[in-house]
Amino acid sequence: MKNILLTILLIFIVLPFIQAQDDEDAFKIREIYDQVLTEGKCYGWLEYLTKTVGPRLSGSPGAAASVEYGRQTFNAMGFDTVWLQPCMVPHWERGKPASARIVNSSTLGTKELNVIALGGSGNSGSIGVSGEVIEVKSIDEVKKLGSKVKGKVVFFNRPMDPKQIKTFSAYGGAVDQRVHGPREAAALGAVGSIVRSMTTRIDDVPHSGVTYFKDGIKPIPAVAVSTNDANLLSDLLKTEKIRVNVQTDCKWLEDKLSYNVIGEIKGSSHPNEIILVGGHLDSWDVAEGAHDDGAGVVQSLEVINVFKELGIKPKRTLRCVWFMNEENGQAGAIAYADWSNDLNERHIAAIESDRGGFTPRGFTTEADDAVYKEKLKLAKRWEPLLTPYGLTIGTGGSGADVTRLKPQMGLLFGLNPDSQRYFDYHHARNDVFEAVNRRELELGAAAMSALVYLIDRHGL
């Protein structure tokens, strides 16, 4: 009898209720996509951020302009609160364009290579540093060479593996050379370093990005070389010893005060449960930072715009954060996490977009081990609602700016777009507004909005 009652309860009351919830979710997600694809504002914001504000490396006037642009744009958005969160950022300047010149090839004579200074590179002085080139494929190889590296220019030339289907895996498998290679070479007495650009594309465009030195090791001139010229240099080295002259005009200046831009809408019924959307406002100085990460910041603001335009009052607190200094220090991410952790805040979810404005495939996730399995299972319930939009929810990390929120035991997401073109533009002069496709950008914003809607409605 009890079973019969339960069955009746299930069939006539609970199931229709669940069904109605699902239908409402599906309906609302459709509304969200319609809104973004027909009335979205993110493409226009991106145009302003890239074309009018332009490059915005931490500490630069451009970065200050981007903060002010963020503040003004957030203020016009109807947040409950908008504020600037201070953080001290490193201030490095590129100066005049770097050069690397082969000076003694018996085949080619002298030849300029297509290079760009790495962020954090030392200054070569006006006549540059000169040395014989030693090609290596790994940091281990440099360490094994030991004192043989002294006085030399170390050339890191392990390519990103084009056979990887996910280009971020290929990047992860090669980028240690750029981030740590020049420092390890400098520690052993190298006078300069040349690093193969982090891209699978074979072309003449060099790709910058951060390289870290540390206290006690004086930064040496460190440049990235285009893949075409990396191959040329490697070919030459098979037949003769090559000397290069490397010139960099980089300067390290005093740390500077900068800011994260933050806007908040207080949740109506669960104000202590925070859902964060964000990207990073700073970019490298060599281009407009359109994919990295102009796309991410404007997509995250579109989420707020969608809620406003559709009249959805969030039950939980929505926070949009444009982080400062992701590229070379993560001072903004650290300031935010420290502040939030100190307040014992609880981010039930944080979604970062920092993999380019390409057609979204879904979200990758991470969380503290103690809760990850359970949280991921909860999120994956929503997959059927996202499948019509080509989205899945899987493993694979979140983003550099939100990963520090892990101790708050929420689920951290990274928007996961098609990755095939990202490293064609990453940290290079061609990362400009024109490289971003409007529909792809908007689909990413709609995907984030749909996910935030589901988390806000059902909790996580």
Binding site for a second copy (CB under 8 A): 33-34, 37-38, 162-163, 165, 167, 200-201, 359, 361, 388-390, 418, 420-421, 424, 437-440, 443
Burial class (CB in 10 A: 0-12, 13-18, 19+), 287: buried
Residue number with CB closer to a second copy (266 or 361)? 361
From residue 212, alpha-carbon distances to 90, 118, 207, 219, 348 in Å are 12, 9, 16, 8, 33
Q: Would you give the distance in Å from CA 305 to the centre of its chain?
A: 22
Q: Estimate the crossing angle of helix 438-458 against helix 15-39, to 10 degrees.
A: 150
* Chain centroid to CA 294: 10
CB of residue 452 vs a second copy: minimum separation in angstroms? 19
Cβ-based nearer residue to a second copy, 111 or 438: 438
Task: Provide, rounded to whole angstroms, the least separation between the CB of residue 438 and a second copy.
Answer: 7
Between CA 310 and CA 270 the distance in angstroms is 20
Which residue's CB is nearer to a second copy, number 299 or number 408?
299
Q: How far is the CB of 422 from a second copy (least distance, A)?
A: 10
Q: Token pair 């006690």 is at which residue?
A: 216
**Structure token digits, residue 241:** 């010893």
Identify which of residues 70 and 360 has a Cβ nearer to a second copy in the complex.
360
Q: Whose structure tokens read 């792809």?
A: 440
Please report how the helices 295-309 and 61-75 are oriented relative to each other, as an axis angle in degrees rounded to 10: 10
Work out how close the CB of 420 gets to a second copy at its nearest, in angstroms, rounded to a whole number: 5
Q: State in angstroms the smallest separation of the CB of 73 from a second copy.
A: 22
Tell me the β-bridge partners of 232: none
Q: Is there a contact between 327 and 62 (Cβ–Cβ < 8 Å)?
A: no
Least Å from the CB of residue 356 to a second copy = 13
Residue 174 CB: number of other CB atoms within 10 A? Answer: 23
Cβ at position 272, least distance to a second copy in Å:
35
Q: Give the up-direction half-sphere exposure of residue 106: CA atoms within 13 A in the CB hemisphere.
A: 5
Of 5 and 165, CB closest to a second copy = 165
Report the residue number, 341 or 420, with the smaller CB distance to a second copy: 420
Q: Give the nearer residue to a second copy in terms of CB position, either 234 or 359.
A: 359
Q: Which of 53, 55, 88, 90 is nearest to 72 (CA)?
A: 53
Question: How is residue 159 written in tokens?
Answer: 């390519």
Nearest-angstrom CA–CA distance, 56 and 324: 10
Instruction: State in angstroms the smallest separation of the CB of 374 from a second copy.
Output: 25
* Nearest distance, CB of residue 216 and a second copy, angstroms: 41
Listed in sequence order, the residues at least 6 apart from 58 whose beta carbon sits closer than 8 Å to its beta carbon are 89, 90, 91, 92, 256, 258, 282, 324, 325, 327, 328, 329, 331
Closest CB to a second copy among residues 275, 391:
391
Query: Closest approach of Cβ 367 to a second copy, in Å?
Result: 24
Nearest CB to a second copy, comparing residues 163 and 218: 163
Q: Which is nearer to a second copy, 85 or 420 (CB)?
A: 420
